[in-house]
Structures are given as C-alpha cells and as structure tokens.
Copies of this chain bind each other. A is one copy, B any other.
Amino acid sequence: MESRTNPSPGTLPCCVAFSQLLGLTVVALTGAWLGLYRGGIAWESALQFNVHPLCMVIGLVFLQGDALLVYRVLRNEAKRTTKVLHGLLHGFAFIIALVGLVAVFDYHKKKGYADLYSLHSWCGILVFVLYFVQWLVGFSFFLFPGASFSLRSRYRPQHVFVGASIFLLSVGTALLGLKEALLFNLGAKYSTFEPEGVLANVLGLLLAGFGLVVLYILTRADWKRPPQAEEQALSMDFKTLTEGDSPGSQ
C-alpha cells in the first residue's frame, strides 16, 4: 500500500535524531551505572570486568545500530561512500566488541571463573561469530570488486535480514548480561527497589527502545534509499525482467 518511489524522507530526520538521543543515553547510563555503583573502569584490577559491558554497549549496540542506519541517513550520497562508511562503522564496532570480549575472558581467567556456561555467554559468542562472518561476507560481496551485479542483488535481502537479526540478538544479549549482573551483584536486594536496580531496569528498557527505533527506521518502506541514476542504469535488466517496465522511464 506504500509508495516505493517517494523521495521525501518526511519525519526520518526526527526519528534518526531520536534514535541518537536514545543510543547516547544508553551509553551514558551504562557509564553512570558502572561509575556510580560498580566502582568504575580499569584494565589491571577487579574493575576489568566493567570494560566488558561498556565496550559491548558502545560497539555491538550503539555503533552497530548506527552502521545499519547509514543507508537511511545518507540517502542521497554516492552509494560507494555509504558502503565504505557502513563497513567502517561495523569494523570499528567489531574492534570495540573484541576489546570487551578479551576483557571478560581475561577477568574470568584471573579470578578462576568458568567460561561460557550461561545463556548470555552462549548468545554473546553466537552474535560475535555471526557478526564477524557477516562482515567478511558483506565485504567480499559489496566492497571487494568481483561479485557480479546479479549476485549482489540476490544476496542483498539476506544481508539486510541477517544484519538486522544480529543487531536484535545483540540487544537481547545485552539485556541478558544486564540481568545477570544485577542478580549477581544485588541478589535479594534487587527486590527492595535499590537505586542501582531501578537505574539498570531503566537502562534495559532504553536498550530495547533503541533496538526497536532502529528497526522502525530500517523497515519503513518509504524511507528506503532511492536508487541513484547509475544504479538505475545498472539494474535495467533486472527491473525489466521482474517488473516488466524500464527504470529509465522514471
């Protein structure tokens, strides 16, 4: 029922601004939680654990979400520029997440704690591996020269869906980790509405909210990136085959 060719982004800038406000609040609130109630952050002490949630929220939630939004925000830039920025943001997010991963494994090793037993850790490792594979496959198809136009066109919808799924899994994994930290640290005090518990619950709701706002911007049909002139020319054969009309006539 929606027009696919509408070039006007309407309230897109407001929604993007709202997503950024939410995302930055999530990062700030994670920092505030760790600073106010968990003693802050350091690499060479018991505070090393705290590097993990902060890096994961910055990398696998905020930056990953922003990398997904690049195609909506830069709707009228050259596709190559947008692709490079999309790949760079994901690469940057991956490196930050890697630091967060090393921090928690190193902390566990120093303390003699078991690794990879919880649902949070299983989901986390799954997300991390999928994220790396998706980045590599995406790079091979879309940035590395060689993949044909038809191959890219066939792979694109799968790339978009898998990317959005990894993002949603990342948000879910962050919520599981937050819950784990609260139950480990607060125990029975969690049920007495301790300020730390209330702050972390609010952080959890904002994390879920950020995930859904990013998903809304991604899935709005009339906010999808309109094809540029050179892409229209390249896709002529496909449009003719699948829709029975020439894109050049627009």
Chain A interface residues (CB < 8 Å from chain B): 1-6, 113-114, 117-120, 122-123, 126, 153, 156-157, 161, 165, 168-169, 171-172, 175-176, 178-180, 182-184, 190-193, 197, 200-201, 204-205, 208, 212, 215-216, 219-221, 235, 238, 242-243
Contacts and interface: CB of A to CB of B under 8 A. Distances in A.
Which of A165, A179, A191 has the most chain B CB atoms inside 10 A of its CB? A179
Contacts of A161: 216, 219
A205 B165 contact: no
Q: Describe A's contact surface by its main secondary structure.
A: helix
A68 to B, nearest CB: 14
A3 to B, nearest CB: 4
Contact of A126 (B3, B183, B205, B235): B205
A118 B188 CA distance: 11
A195 to B, nearest CB: 12
Given A114-B191, A180-B183, A3 B242 contact: yes
Contacts of A6: 242
B123 A204 contact: yes
Given A3-B242, A117-B192, A157-B220, 20 more contacts: A1-B153, A1-B157, A1-B235, A1-B238, A1-B242, A117-B190, A118-B201, A119-B201, A122-B201, A122-B204, A123-B208, A161-B216, A165-B212, A165-B215, A168-B215, A169-B208, A169-B212, A176-B179, A183-B183, A219-B219
